[in-house]
Structure 1
Amino acid sequence: MAAKKQISTEESIELIQILKKRFEKNITHHEKLDWSKIEEKLNSNPSKLWSLNEMEISGGEPDVVDYDEKTDEYIFFDCSAESPNGRRSFCYDREALDSRKENKPQNDVMTTAKQMGVEILSEEQYRFLQTLGEFDLKTSSWVKTPKEIRELGGAIFCDRRYNTVFVYHNGANSYYAARAFRGVLRV
């Protein structure tokens, strides 16, 4: 049986304080949202707090970016200025990792995201993130790759240069010190 993914009460309190300070600092990310309602949701979802903590300790600086009225969920993205440092140098997925014969990276994006209890941003979500500020000016982030591209061995990633969001492709088994992934979590 898998271990419950939970953080201690002390860690929960500390994480909620970090998230609250970030919420207040970046109020333009979520002007119409009420922190007390978000905190209530967080306190009633310990596994989601665990995932947010994983985002935080790997350098993602998660923050609330939206609210889905249909599902009554708050949406958190990794909002670090650059792609999270603790998740860099990973290839795209397990198939790509297994295909490497030498110089294998330590892990892959899709497996790591699943282990963290998050999904990686889609291209659409990445473009939305870029409307909230300027992200990945020196790094890049893998994004969900369409099945047709992945079946041909490729994967896509994005960054921001020249005040423009660019989408690129690479072999899914490639990895770079300046590329990671940004997670999304619904609470």
Structure 2
Amino acid sequence: MTSINKKELSAEQSDGLINVLKNRFEKNMSRHKTIKWEDVLSRLKSNPVKLMALDAMEETGGEPDVVGQDEKTGEYLFYDCSAESPKGRRSVCYDRAAWESRKEHKPENTAMDMAAEMGVEILTEAEYRFMQTLGEFDTKTSSWIATPPEIRKLKGAVFCDRRYNTVFLYHNGAESYYAARGFRAVLKV
């Protein structure tokens, strides 16, 4: 079971997660050239709920890392930076309505439900494309992204991946799910 069902992290779990995040931050300075770890750490220590969300991102294979700072709010942006779509979030259809529309072979969960349980948001297309400027992600997998309401009303959903050194946006029925498709998230701290 992932940490999305935990009520709180113990001091040992918090310290362990912070150490993992710090090491990742230091190994990937190109993702956050102007941000200081001490500032991020201060924000993390004052937001235990956000730390739990980061733990859920980590536990499901997202390898969250700081990729920037919101210009309006000053919040630090953590994206899933795993090379492929997080393993613990694959084989899910898009949302609860799509799940309910399936007559048989329903997946265990949905991308939108998991994101809500984790306390994170699914990346938008713009966020996904920005992430791809930081490295090469989803070269063997794909990730659901936030679907515009006008597409969702027609029972569709959108996802992205990177092939041929190009980021592609695709569509599928929101009820579909595949072993190689999950979702990537953003958390603002």
TM-score (ref. length: structure 1)? 0.97
Partner of 2:142: 140
Where do residues 39-54 of structure 1 align in structure 2 (5 Å cutoff)? Answer: 39-54=41-56
Confirm whether residue 96 of structure 1 aligns to residue 98 of structure 2: yes
Deviation of 1:185 after TM superposition, in Å, equals 0.2
Alpha-carbon distance in 2 for matches of 1:25, 1:74: 17
Identity rate of aligned residues, in percent? Answer: 65
- SS of 2:175 mapped into structure 1: coil
**Is residue 84 of structure 1 aligned with residue 86 of structure 2?**
yes
Partners of 2:55 and 2:65 in 1: CA distance = 12
Where structure 2 has 5 or more consecutive residues not aligned to the other structure, the ranges are none
Is the CA contact 1:92–1:173 (under 8 Å) kept in the aligned structure 2?
yes
Q: Give the deviation of 1:132 after TM superposition.
A: 0.1
TM value normalised by structure 2: 0.96
Stretches of structure 1 lacking an aligned partner (at least 5 in a row): none
- Paired with 1:123 and 1:30, the residues of 2 have a C-alpha distance of 20
8 Å contact 1:113–1:120 — kept in the other structure?
yes
Deviates more, 1:67-76 or 1:139-148: 67-76
CA RMSD of aligned residues (A): 1.0
- Which residue of 63, 73, 76 corresponds with 1:61? 63
SS at match of 1:32: coil
CA distance in 1, matches of 2:131, 2:7: 27
Q: How many residues align?
A: 185
Question: Aligned ranges for residues 66-77 of structure 1 at < 5 Å?
Answer: 66-77=68-79
Supply the distance in 1 between the matched residues of 2:41 and 2:69 (Cα, whole angstroms). Answer: 13
Among residues 161, 164, 167, which one is paired with 2:163 in the alignment? 161
Structure 2 CA distance, aligned partners of 1:68 and 1:105? 34
Which of residues 2, 8, 11 in structure 2 aligns to 1:9? 11
2:151 maps to what in 1?
Answer: 149
Mapping for residues 101-116 of structure 1, pairs under 5 Å: 101-116=103-118
CA distance in 1, matches of 2:183, 2:71: 26
Q: Partners of 1:104 and 1:34 in 2: how far apart?
A: 44
- For 1:175 and 1:81, the matched residues in 2 are separated by 20
Q: Write the distance in 1 (CA, Å) between the matches of 2:85 and 2:71.
A: 29
